[in-house]
Each structure stands twice: as C-alpha cells, then as structure tokens.
Amino acid sequence: MKSNQIKAVHQRDLKKLLKSLKVYDEVKNHTQKCFFCKEVICEQTISAVFPYYNTVCFCCENHQCCSHLLDLSKEDDGDG
C-alpha cells in the first residue's frame, strides 16, 4: 500500500501545517497561488497542501482544482 502524500487539512490545523512548512507568511501575504488555476490562495481558500518536486503546492477549494489534484496523485503512481 502506498501512503497518500496529499492531505486535506482541517482549517484549525492549517496554520500549524503552513508554519511547519515555512509558507505561512507567504500565504498570509497572498504570494502563493493555487497550483492548478493560479488564483491567489489564502488560509480560507486552501483545500489541500501537497508536495510536488520538492516545493510546497496548494490547491484551492475550486471543484475543478480538487479533481485535478486527484488526477495528479494517480499519475504519481507511475515511474518515479
């Protein structure tokens, strides 16, 4: 069984997670964007945080972005 790297986080745990990933200030300053639609994300609109090529990426609450995120996690099962 492969462990799923993508974690949907609870809003209350989000701040803690962002701080541990050293991206909290960036999110707070609105300098981070959704990986898929490139909309600027904030604490309220983050639906998931995930690692991609050693960077921290974000997914907003947009349904399309969420489904892209699921596709991405499937593709990740290939060679690597």
**Residue numbers of the site for Zn ion (CB under 5 A)?**
34, 36-37, 60, 62, 65
Kindly state the smallest distance separating residue 6's Cβ from Zn ion, in Å: 14
Kindly state the smallest distance separating residue 40's Cβ from Zn ion, in Å: 10
Query: What radius of gyration do the chain's Cα atoms show?
Result: 12
CA distance 10 to 15: 9
- C-beta closer to Zn ion: residue 62 or 73: 62
Q: Which two tokens stand for residue 26?
A: 């960036």
- C-beta closer to Zn ion: residue 17 or 45: 45
Long-range pairs, 69-72, Cβ under 8 A, ≥24 = 69/6, 69/35, 69/36
Kindly state the smallest distance separating residue 54's Cβ from Zn ion, in Å: 21
